[in-house]
Amino acid sequence: MDGILAGKTIVVMGVANKRSIAWGCTNALINQGAKVILTYQNDRIKTSLQRFVPEDLDLIECDVAEDTNIEIAFKKSVINMAKSME
pLDDT single digits (tens) 21-74: 999 999 999 999 999 999 999 999 999 999 999 998 999 999 988 899 999 998
| Three-class SS state of 14 | coil
Q: How confident is the model at residue 1 (pLDDT cuts 50, 70, 90)?
A: low
HSE-CB of 53 using CA atoms within 13 angstroms: 26
What is the reported pTM?
A: 0.84
Residue pair 8/23 in contact (Cβ under 8 Å)? The answer is: no
What is the pairing mode between strands 58-61 and 9-12?
Answer: unpaired
Task: Kindly list the domain boundaries of the chain, sorted by start residue.
Answer: 9-85
d(CA 75, CA 53): 22
